[in-house]
Chains A and B, each alone.
Chain A
């Protein structure tokens, strides 16, 4: 299993540009999560999907952020327009069905720098 795959690994863009981050979860996992890591706030949950349906997006900072999961093997996190304060590492994670022993498997992250 290749694990959770994220792309791009690094993105440098200018303020005002659109940024799209991509994630491929582990096959068979039915929940997908987007987290953001910053020095100040650590790991924050932005949004999570269960069976491709967004369940909780209360962590999405503002309307500039949007996430989609068109199928079980792909998700995107889009920022439009991007701002310097969006600079962070964005992690995607997935977890399998069931309860009681669920753990998250994280991707390697996408480091975003907005100039």
Chain B
């Protein structure tokens, strides 16, 4: 009954290539989505967000795409760098609220 799913526990990508991390959600009331990055022994840090009124948000090498009809969002990292190796969490909330539901995370490894 997970409301936010990240079906790939891990992903390996070559340096310089594109990384695509996927996230699916079940609750159609979610209207605000975040991606967090987490390094070992540190707390998650905010990466990028998107609201349901948009289908794309870009910040440097990071772009988040939202497909509301499919209840799917993805994070694209181009080009991928070894420093991007981390666990990435997708999170969603309702009514632009602060009560975020997190997915289980995807571990990204960028190989030099």
Report A's interface with B, CB cutoff 8 A: 4, 31, 33, 35, 41-45, 48, 50, 55-56, 91, 93, 95, 99-109
CA distance A31 to B98 in the complex (A): 8
Interface size band for B: 20 to 34
Q: In the complex, are the beta carbons of B41 and A43 less than 8 A apart?
A: no
Please list 21 pairs of residues, one from A and one from B, whose beta carbons are closer than 8 Å in the complex, sorted by A's number: A4-B43, A31-B98, A42-B89, A42-B102, A42-B103, A50-B98, A91-B43, A93-B43, A95-B98, A99-B96, A100-B51, A100-B96, A102-B96, A102-B98, A104-B36, A104-B46, A104-B100, A106-B36, A106-B43, A108-B42, A109-B41
A residues near B111, Cβ cutoff 8 Å:
none
Is the pair B96, A43 in contact by a Cβ cutoff of 8 Å? no
- Smallest CB-CB A-B distances: 9 pairs: A106-B43, A42-B104, A43-B102, A103-B46, A99-B96, A100-B96, A106-B44, A31-B98, A108-B43
Per the bound structure, the CA–CA distance linking A108 and B105 in Å amounts to: 17
A61 to chain B, nearest CB (A): 16
Residues in B with CB closer than 8 Å to A105 are: 46
Which residues of A lie under 8 Å from residue B104 when comparing CB positions? 41-43
- Return A102 CB to nearest CB of chain B, in Å: 5
CB distance from B6 to the nearest CB of A (A): 8
A45 to B46, CA, bound (A): 17
| Chain A min CB distance to B74 (Å) | 18
Nearest chain A CB to B37 CB, angstrom units? 11
Given contacts A42-B105, A108-B41, contact A48 B99 (CB under 8 A): yes
A102 to B46, CA, bound (A): 10
| A99:B99 contact, CB within 8 angstroms | no
Which of A33, A50, A103 is B34 in contact with, Cβ under 8 Å? A103
**B98 with A43: CB separation less than 8 A:** no
A31 to B49, alpha carbons, bound, how many Å? 19
Across the interface, do B97 and A99 meet the contact criterion of CB distance under 8 Å? yes
CB-nearest residue of chain A to B42: A108
